[in-house]
Amino acid sequence: MKKRHILLGVTASIAAYKSCEVISGLKKKGHEVTCILTADAERFITRLTLETLTKNKVYKDMFELPEKREAAHVSLADKADLIAIVPATANIIAKAASGLCDDLLACTVISSKKPVLMAPAMNENMYGHAVTQKNIRELQKLGYHFIGPVRGGLACGSVGVGHIAPVEAIVKRIEKILK
């Protein structure tokens, strides 16, 4: 497969560290990766870690001055061949389903005509909640792709459906969508 550009959105979940493994998997396949880090995600993983792994600038602030005078959310959306949100919290799923654009990641997703893959990771009760399930169905109707979550250990100490999908499966799914 030819080299593609993946825009990786990282949201505020304990599973944010899995985004590093996804970056490594994509880079090994020869893909370019750029990240958008939500403000709360930075409580779990740093910009420096993601920049070191991607060898690219990590974007976070909607109003950060870009190197060029262009709207970051539009230029990032245009440059990407696919947007992957790993992990995808109930919050970003709800934002995408409702069209809420209150941060750089949400604005970039809604500015894009490219495929979007979400890898949910959250507490089983949050994932199974009727509102979250309705939001996922609405996004699927719009063409969004989802992978997981799977049954596994959760941050709260319980075991249930809400554990992020395996990294290898996420990377394979990204490549399948890109074909």
What does pTM read for this prediction?
Answer: 0.93
User: Model confidence over 137-159: pLDDT tens digits?
Assistant: 999 999 999 999 999 988 888 88
User: Model confidence over 17-42: pLDDT tens digits?
Assistant: 999 999 999 999 999 999 999 999 99
Residues 6+ away with beta carbon under 8 Å from 34: 5, 6, 7, 8, 54, 56, 57, 58, 59, 76, 79, 80
pLDDT, mean of residues 159-164: 92
| Cα(60)–Cα(42) distance, integer angstroms | 9
* The total number of residues written for the chain in this structure: 179
What are the residue boundaries of the structural domains of the chain, listed by start?
A: 5-178
Fold (topology level) of 5-178: Rossmann fold (3.40.50)
156 is catalytic: yes
The active-site residue out of 20, 35, 107, 156 is 156
Q: So what's the pLDDT on residue 143?
A: 97
Query: What SS3 string covers 9-45?
Result: EECCCHHHHHHHHHHHHHHHCCCEEEEEECCHHHHCC
User: Model confidence over 98-143: pLDDT tens digits?
Assistant: 999 999 999 999 999 999 999 999 999 999 999 999 999 999 999 9
